[in-house]
Amino acid sequence: MRTSNVCNSLINKGNFAKTKWSLLPIPHGTIPEPKGVDLDFVNVAYSHLIHSDWEKLEGLASGLNPFRFKHVLLKIKNDYVLSHEFYKWVKVKQPVLLTLETQSMIVHILTKHQKFQSAGSILRGILSSSSADFDLPMRLFEAILYSYRMCDSSPGVFDSLFKAHAHLKKLRNATSTFRQMKDYGFLPTIESCNALMSSMHSLKRADIVLSFYREIRKCGISPNVYTLNMVIAAHCKLTSIEKALEIFHDMGDMGILPTVATYNTIISGYCNKGLLTSAVKLKSAMEKNGLKPTEVTFNTLIHGFCKEGRLQEANKVLSEMRAKEVAPNTITYNALINGYSQSGNSESGYELYEQMQRHGVKTDILTYNALILAFCKEGKTKKAAYIVKELDKQNLAPNASTFSALILGQCVRKNPERAFQLYRSMIRSGFSPNRCTSERLMFSFCENQDYDGAVQVLREMLKSNMSPDSDVLSVLWDGLCQNGNEDLATLLQNEIKARFPNCEVSASDQ
């Protein structure tokens, strides 16, 4: 691994004279030379170490202090294996000696010998040791900086620190370290920058991905295909497909060839915007350029067509997928089953489920929830109950979506009492019914003119600090008033108005 130097990068690009950066000098950290007893201790410890005489070293453990530990490390710094073994020995025998300064020294030794994995493990351990110590990242950077020249280190040490923050998903600390590195003339490798951008993506921070990308480009760090794939993905997530395409078209000029992942990302961006014709055309262009669509490509298109209710075209993609010997997987079938569920075609969804079983494709909770919802939307609660039993056979537990679908099924059958029992079971199981489920149940009680039941659901909603839509409330108020419960209606109106001042709670005009 090679870490770029800001000065060299800018000089090579002819931009050094134009930059306003004023690089800070790397400080010369020093420690006093050992004398007398300290010198004797260091020399004896050194002799035991180079002769691998760990038994004799045991007798010195009680006399080891940070000053002596540092000097022993300096004497053996050219032997990274021995240095690392000594560090691990001290960690067991005298863990109190592992200060930021002594740990920085072993990190220097390891990174200089390109043992980045071991160095990264130590750095992540330090940074994870105290989440309440907000100054720790700054103090660690300073410890590494001040021992840099003393240990005759390499720039890779700063790259390792930056990457440690990235892997821990400490975005603020990573970007702060990036700026500090830059101040002293060091930049992380593009691989480490990619690690940070990947963490940003996993935390759904596409905005900072783009901001950080602009920063590294200003610094002269050259992206690779993984960098650009993440930038394209960030633009797509922020619904800026046009900017994603700009990056895509610029890749050739940058000497970077798009990969299957590049095409898949833009195809997904098109599908999310409903631009399915463009998505299909891009898949064709991908094949013309010698890249084979993967299950991700086909699944993305199938999901896109299903989301738009275009199930015939989704099935054409499935046929093409099979023709090209790309095996449909759980995601493929789930997208199609859910598509049929949304379109009110439970039988076709169930046929796909049977296909999954015949072909040995694994089912998951999403498969069963899509089937349960499909049957429940059509009021086929017995078939839904059968699927719930299958869920149990697979050792899969019902989740919030399962309960919501079952409640809907009972409401469709105009059986709000049974639906309310499921509603209560859902809450007892640790799930919170959402607004849509609660409102549908309230409306079902009102349809049956069971306004007491509707009030029970309303009270459950209020416990969760959730207020129903004004249209549902209006139906409830009208029903209560028509049945001589004006006082209860007024009481509930006042309670809701106190909690939700902007909520419309009045009964409709008769």
Query: What is the 3 state secondary structure string of 400-467?
Result: HHHHHHHHHHHHHCCCHHHHHHHHHHHHHCCCCCCHHHHHHHHHHHHHCCCHHHHHHHHHHHHHCCCC
Establish if 242 belongs to a structural domain: yes
Q: Give me the count of residues in the chain.
A: 510
User: Is the pLDDT at 49 greater than 50, yes or no?
Assistant: yes
80-127 tens-digit pLDDT: 999 999 999 999 999 999 999 999 999 999 999 999 999 999 999 999
Cβ contacts of 413 within 8 Å, gap of 6 or more: 379, 381
Residue 207 lies in a domain: yes
| The pLDDT value given to residue 505 | 57
- pLDDT at residue 487 greater than cutoff 90: no
Residue range 312-334: mean pLDDT, rounded: 96
Which residues have C-beta within 8 Å of that of residue 383, sequence separation ≥ 6? 346, 350, 375
Could you give the CA distance from residue 510 to residue 503 in angstroms, rounded to a whole number? 20
* Tally of structural domains, the chain: 1
Residue 217 falls within a domain, yes or no? yes
- Asked if residue 267 is part of any domain, the answer here is no
Instruction: Identify whether 212 is part of a domain.
Output: yes
154 within domain boundaries = no
d(CA 114, CA 189): 14
The token pair that represents 276 in the structure block = 């399915």
- For the record, the structure tokens of 133 come out as 């110590």
Range of the domain at 245: 189-258
Give the pTM: 0.82
- Domain assignment present for residue 199? The answer is yes
Average pLDDT, stretch 327-349?
95
